[in-house]
Structure 1
């Protein structure tokens, strides 16, 4: 019970710390919203996507990019934010000092993951509000769609958090964390259907992207926000939500195993 109480108090502390850091807020909280705005404005005169030969039935580029930006926000908040943040705390001695306190590792992780969950909820709400009221994107009305959104979002954010904690062990110093983590996250966004139409990528690149969780998070979100006729554009001709859950579950297990093997209050070479 004390472990849970400490973890809950850490969530509030981590949230206050997060929103006081302008660079973190910009690159993880506001970045997907800014990118959606850029794409929506840049392609505002390019017609619609998926229209019938008579020009009906298409959706705007703003609506097309919403699922990818939701998925990107999940990855940025979890993998990039925690990967850079925890590596920095290792480098400046914060984790070493915490290791000398009674704070359990579980409470520390609970604070980090809780912070990402809460901030991600606010982020996606703001993103959808911008999409609806600034770019006239129609949001789903079916309860089943929002149920799918809820489990893909929750599953994806938690998996991203665990992978971010595991990735924080890779940078040698806190100063090198952004140079190590951000290129990985940026590359995944380009090959996983966030900035580019996944169906138009070469087959070999689709196969590479399918190894990683972002492709499946974006696919799950497309099943929520895109019309049903877009399902046939997926590589397998289906949303494959069961496979989305399976791949995210596998990466969650892999991330937990990596956290167990690599996380420590002090670097091994300290």
Structure 2
């Protein structure tokens, strides 16, 4: 009798947070791919921007300094901004909308651990970012003859990509508490993303920006994601175009890790399951 009594709670125990997080990620991914307008914007935007810059600036075979084609130079920035859109911007806008609609309140009242919810969000961001970057690389290689990296370059690409996705995703979660409502989320988040793109070497060659703008951009992760990606797709000689004269892989890893920690701390302290007017 006592054995049966002890076994009952075990039989009804919920799966672990990791398993629930994987299930939640599947749910989030299915939900994302049902939003056709979001798919078109997030997947097409970096490709369209790369095509515009490569076409406008690369007319008549024009090249960046050191003989780097414009498509080759701007591709790293488009990869970085694509990661920012699919992680930071996506979460910073979608979470306030879910909060406004009452979805987070209902979810907070279930046995689902908060960690599983956030694992699901990060899993969705990771899958979307991988698909987005794969499409961008395919277009760059097939239509603009961009050279893909060697094995060592792919290793650098991997850790810059993963750190960038993780840092941008947790910062998006932390930033999601700033908009007062789901309706205002886009108006609050989009200008931040645009400013970061303009000062971080995405739309312009970073070495052409004013020094004060370069210093401001160095505080934020997008500049370091773009620089890390440039080290993958540009020749070693192009490191001379960077303000420091080198790719600064150590600094790139340190800044992205720092923002990952900052995003986690801010997210834990500020995340809300309810609207401000709902207690």
TM-score calculated relative to the size of structure 2: 0.92
Q: Corresponding residue for 1:35?
A: 49
Name stretches of at least 5 consecutive residues in structure 2 with no aligned partner: 1-14
1:266 and 2:274 correspond: yes
The 8 Å contact of residues 224 and 256 in structure 2, kept in 1 or not, is answered as: yes
Q: Corresponding residue for 2:179?
A: 171
Q: Corresponding residue for 1:126?
A: 135
Specify which of 70, 73, 80 is matched with residue 79 of structure 2.
70
Report deviation, 1:41.
Answer: 2.1
Distance in 1 separating the partners of 2:71 and 2:201: 14
- In angstroms, what is the RMSD of aligned CA positions? 1.1
Name stretches of at least 5 consecutive residues in structure 1 with no aligned partner: 52-57
Once the two structures are superposed, residues 62-99 of structure 1 have per-residue CA deviations (whole angstroms, 9 ceiling, x without a partner) of 11111000110111111100000101101111101111
The 8 Å contact of residues 200 and 226 in structure 2, kept in 1 or not, is answered as: yes
Distance in 2 separating the partners of 1:229 and 1:114: 36
The 8 Å contact of residues 141 and 147 in structure 2, kept in 1 or not, is answered as: yes
1:48 and 2:63 correspond: yes
Distance in 2 separating the partners of 1:149 and 1:170: 32
Report deviation, 1:259.
Answer: 0.5
Which has the larger Rg? 2
Q: How does 1:94-113 map to 2 (within 5 A)?
A: 94-113=103-122
Distance in 2 separating the partners of 1:19 and 1:40: 29
The 8 Å contact of residues 77 and 202 in structure 2, kept in 1 or not, is answered as: yes
Paired residue total:
263
Secondary structure of 1:139's match? coil
Report deviation, 1:20.
Answer: 1.2
Distance in 1 separating the partners of 2:132 and 2:42: 9
Report deviation, 1:268.
Answer: 4.1
1:8 and 2:22 correspond: yes
Q: Corresponding residue for 1:198?
A: 206
1:216 and 2:224 correspond: yes
Distance in 2 separating the partners of 1:260 and 1:29: 30
Distance in 2 separating the partners of 1:27 and 1:189: 16
Moved over 6 A (4+): none
Once the two structures are superposed, residues 88-140 of structure 1 have per-residue CA deviations (whole angstroms, 9 ceiling, x without a partner) of 10111110111111111101001100001011111111100000001111111
TM-score calculated relative to the size of structure 1: 0.95
1:26 and 2:40 correspond: yes
Distance in 1 separating the partners of 2:29 and 2:170: 18
Distance in 1 separating the partners of 2:140 and 2:157: 16
Report deviation, 1:39.
Answer: 1.4
Report deviation, 1:22.
Answer: 2.4
